[in-house]
Structure 1
Amino acid sequence: MAVLCRPSVWVPENTISMEETLELARQLHPDHAKLPLVLRMIKNTGVAKRHLVQPLMQTLQHPGFEARNRVYVREARARIPNVVKQALSSAEVTAPQIDAIVFVSCTGFTMPPLTSWMINELGFRSDTRQIPIAQLGCAAGGAAINRAHDFCLAYPGTHVLIVACEFCSLVYQPDDSDVGSLLSDGLFGDAIAAAVVRGAGGAGMRLVANASHLVPATGDWITYNVKATGFHFRLDRRVPGTMNLLAPALHTLAGAHGWDASKLDFYIIHAGGPRILDDLSRYLMVPPVAFRHSRATLTEYGNIASAVVFDALRRQSDEGLPEGARGLLAGFGPGITAESCLGTWSAPEPIRGGRHVAHTNGRASARPHAPQP
C-alpha cells in the first residue's frame, strides 16, 4: 500500500509581518473606498508572518510579467534541489528509485516543465514519468497526492516524488485595487515543498482511498484574470462559505470506506483562511484543535497555496501518531474543487544497531530502482 512520507518544506528568508502588511495597505491605498474593509479582512486572516522569495522592496515593484517569470524560474531551480534531497532522504529512497514526478505550481510557468529540468539535473532516470499540474491552485497539493497514489496503484511497487513550488508574491499586482486582490496581498506566502509517495515500504500516511469533488457552477469563484501584467487573483465573496458545499464530499469519502469523518485521529486540511477551518470544524463536528497544524501553517507562513497540506503533514509527522491512526487530508481550490484522501498512520521502524531499517513485505528495501511501468 502506498505511503506518503514526511514532506520537506522550505520558506524564503525574507519576511513580512501582519503589522507591516497593514501599514503598507494604508500607505499604498489611502484613498481606497473599501480600505477599512480590506484592513479588517487582512487582520481576520490571523497570518502573523509570511515569507517572500524576494526582499520586500523588490516584491512591491513590478518590472513586468517576463521579468517576474525569470525570477520564478531562477529561484525554483536554485531552491528545489535541496528540498527534493531532504524529501528523498526522509523517504529513504534515491533519485534513481523514483518512477514519476508530480510537479504543481500556479505562480509561474515554464515549458518544458520543471520536471524535465529535475530529471536532467538531479539524477532521476530518463524514463521517469512527468506529471506537471499548473491550474488547480491551492487544490493542487491534494491532487498531487491523489495522482501519485493512483500511479502507485496502477504500477505496484513504484515510487513518486511530489514537488509543490509556490511563489505567490510574484503574483502581487501593485495597481490592482480589487478587494479580493488586496486581501490576497495580506494572505499568501511563498514556499516549496516536496514529498515521496512510496509504493512499498516507508513511514508516514498510508494512503487508503482518494476522491475529487467539484461544486457545480462555482467556476468563477476563484480565478486568475490573465493580463499583460500577469496573473490577477480574483476571489468571490462566497468563497469563505464553501465548506458548506464541500464538507458533504468528505463525509461521503469516509463513509464509503466505513469511516466516520467526525471521528478520525488526524486531519491535514488546506488552510485557505481561518473561516475555512472554523466552518469545516463545525461541519465535520470535530474540535478546532484537530486542525492545529493547518492553523500553525496559516499563522506562521500564510496561505502557501498547494504547499499548505505538505507543511501541515510535516508538522503532524514531527508530532507523531500511533501505528494505525486514521486520518483525512484535503486540499481546496478553484473549481470549486476538493481533492481529498484517507490514510492510516505507518510509524517508523525502530532503529537497530545504529541504523534505521525500512522494510518492504518483511524484507529490507534495497532495490536499485522501481519496476518499470
Structure 2
Amino acid sequence: MPVLCRPSVAVPEHTITRQETLDLARTLHAGHASLPLVLRLIENTGVAKRHLVQPLARTLAHPGFEARNALYATEAKARVPAVVDEALRNAGLTARDIDLIVYVSCTGFMMPSLTAWMINNLGFRGDTRQLPIAQLGCAAGGAAINRAHDFCAAYPGANALIVACEFCSLCYQPDDLSVGNLLSNGLFGDAVAAAVVRGSGGTGIRLEANGSHLVPHSEDWIAYQVRDTGFHFQLDRRVPGTMDQLAPALAGLAARHGRDAGRQDFYIVHAGGPRILDDLGTHLGVAPELFRFSRATLTEYGNIASAVVLDALRRLFDEGGPRPGATGILAGFGPGITAEISLGSWTVTGALAPPRHETVPLPTSPGPLPGRAADLLPDLPLESLDSALPTTAAVAP
C-alpha cells in the first residue's frame, strides 16, 4: 500500500506574536463597534505566534491585487524548492522518481500552476502528471493526501509528491472590517510544506482508505469574495458547530473499515481553532493529548491552511512515531464545508525500495482501481443540518 513519508515544512523568517496582533487591532480599529468581540476571538484562538512572508510594515500595506499576486509567485518559486528537496530526501527518492505532483494553495493564483515551473526547473520528468488544487482551502491538505493515495493505488509502484504553499498574509485586507475578516487577521499564518507518497517502501503512514464528506448547503459558511483588492475571507456564525456534522462522517468511515474512530493511536487533524479539536474530541471520546500535534501547529504557526496536516504529521515524526502497526486518522476541514479523511497505520521499512528513474506506464483506458477499490472512495451518508448552531468565539476549520 502507498506510504505517506516524513514531511518537510518551512515557515518565513518574519513573525508576529499574539500580543502584537492585539495591539495592532486596538490601534487600527479603535472605534470599531465589534472590537471587544474581535479581541476576545483572537485571544481564544490559542495562536501565540505566526510567520509572515514579508515584514509586518509591508504586510499591512496593500499595493493592489496584481502586486500581491506577483509576490505570491515570486515567493513560491523562492521557497518551494528547498522544501521539495528535503521531502524527496526524507522519502529516499529523487525528482525523477515522482510520477504525480499535487500542488495545493488558496492564497495566490498562477496559470499554468507552479507545477509546470517545478517540472521545468527542479528536475522532474516532462511526463510527470500535474494536479493543482486551488479552491478547497484548508481541506486541501487532506485532499492532496487522498488524491495521491488514489493515484498510487491505481498505478502500483508510482510515487506522488504533495506540495502545500500558503501565504495567507497576502490576503490581508486593511479596509475590510467584517468580524470574520478581522478574526482572520489574528489567525492565519504562512508556510510551505511538502511530502512524498511512495508506492512501495518507506517509513510513515500506510494509507489504507479515504473518503470525503460535504455538509449540505454550507457553501457560504467559509468562503472568499473576490474583489478588486483580492481575496476577502468570509466566515459564517454557524462554522463553530461543524463538528456536529463532520465527526459522524469520521466515525462512519472508520466503522466501514472495522475501526473505532475514538480508539485510534494517533490523530493528524486540521486545527482551524481550539474549539474544532475540543468538539471533535468530545464527539469521538478522544483525550485532548491525542490532538497535541495539531494544537502545537496552531500555537506556534497559526492556521497555515492546507499545510496544517503536513506540519502536524511532521511533529509526529519528530516525536519518533508510534509503534509499527499503530492506527490513526488524518483529516482536513475547509470550505464546502468539506472534510477529507484518511485511515492508515504506521509502518517502518528498514530498507527503502530502490529509486526508479523510468515512467510508470498508464493503461490505455482508465478501468477500475486495483484491489479494494470500493474501499478507497466510500460513499458517506449526508447528515441534515441543525436548524440553529451556536454562536461562539470559535474559529473556522
TM range (shorter): over 0.9
Task: Choose which of 357, 362, 372 in structure 1 pairs with 2:361.
Answer: 372
Taking the TM superposition and a 5 Å limit, the aligned residue runs for 1:1-373 are 1-319=1-319, 320-349=321-350, 357-359=351-353, 365-373=354-362
Distance in 2 of aligned mates of 1:240 and 1:306: 19
Q: Which has the higher mean CA deviation after the structures are superposed, 339-348 or 286-295?
A: 339-348
Supply the AA of the counterpart residue of 1:182: L
Q: Evaluate the alpha carbon distance shift between residue 370 and residue 347 of structure 1 in structure 2; reply closer, same or farther with a 3 A threshold.
A: farther
Distance in 1 of aligned mates of 2:280 and 2:360: 40
Deviations along 1:275-312, one digit per CA (max 9) or x if unpaired, are 10110010110100010000000000000000000000
Q: Shift in Å at residue 116 of structure 1?
A: 0.2
Supply the AA of the counterpart residue of 1:224: Y
Is the CA contact 1:159–1:198 (under 8 Å) kept in the aligned structure 2? yes
Distance in 1 of aligned mates of 2:14 and 2:168: 13
User: Runs ≥4 in structure 1, deviation > 3 angstroms?
Assistant: none
Distance in 2 of aligned mates of 1:311 and 1:86: 14
Q: What SS does the aligned partner of 1:174 have?
A: coil
Q: Shift in Å at residue 321 of structure 1?
A: 1.1
TM-score normalised by structure 2 residue count: 0.90
Distance in 2 of aligned mates of 1:122 and 1:155: 23
Q: Evaluate the alpha carbon distance shift between residue 47 and residue 157 of structure 1 in structure 2; reply closer, same or farther with a 3 A threshold.
A: same
Q: Evaluate the alpha carbon distance shift between residue 324 and residue 370 of structure 1 in structure 2; reply closer, same or farther with a 3 A threshold.
A: farther
% identical aligned pairs: 70
Distance in 2 of aligned mates of 1:371 and 1:113: 23
Is the CA contact 1:59–1:170 (under 8 Å) kept in the aligned structure 2? yes
Is the CA contact 2:201–2:349 (under 8 Å) kept in the aligned structure 1? no
Q: Shift in Å at residue 348 of structure 1?
A: 4.5
Q: What SS does the aligned partner of 1:157 have?
A: coil
Unaligned runs of 5+ in 1: 350-356, 360-364
Is the CA contact 1:159–1:370 (under 8 Å) kept in the aligned structure 2? no
Q: Shift in Å at residue 370 of structure 1?
A: 4.9
Is the CA contact 1:267–1:291 (under 8 Å) kept in the aligned structure 2? yes
Distance in 2 of aligned mates of 1:340 and 1:48: 28
Supply the AA of the counterpart residue of 2:133: I
Q: What SS does the aligned partner of 2:336 have?
A: coil
Deviations along 1:112-145, one digit per CA (max 9) or x if unpaired, are 0000000000000000000000000000000000
Q: What SS does the aligned partner of 2:50 have?
A: strand
Is the CA contact 1:98–1:369 (under 8 Å) kept in the aligned structure 2? no
Is the CA contact 1:207–1:344 (under 8 Å) kept in the aligned structure 2? yes
Q: Shift in Å at residue 366 of structure 1?
A: 3.8
Q: Shift in Å at residue 358 of structure 1?
A: 1.1
Distance in 2 of aligned mates of 1:37 and 1:48: 18
Q: Shift in Å at residue 371 of structure 1?
A: 2.1
Is the CA contact 2:202–2:349 (under 8 Å) kept in the aligned structure 1? yes
Is the CA contact 2:92–2:355 (under 8 Å) kept in the aligned structure 1? no
Q: Shift in Å at residue 368 of structure 1?
A: 2.4
Is the CA contact 2:15–2:51 (under 8 Å) kept in the aligned structure 1? yes
Is the CA contact 2:94–2:355 (under 8 Å) kept in the aligned structure 1? no
Distance in 2 of aligned mates of 1:283 and 1:121: 46
Unaligned runs of 5+ in 2: 363-397
Q: What SS does the aligned partner of 1:267 have?
A: strand
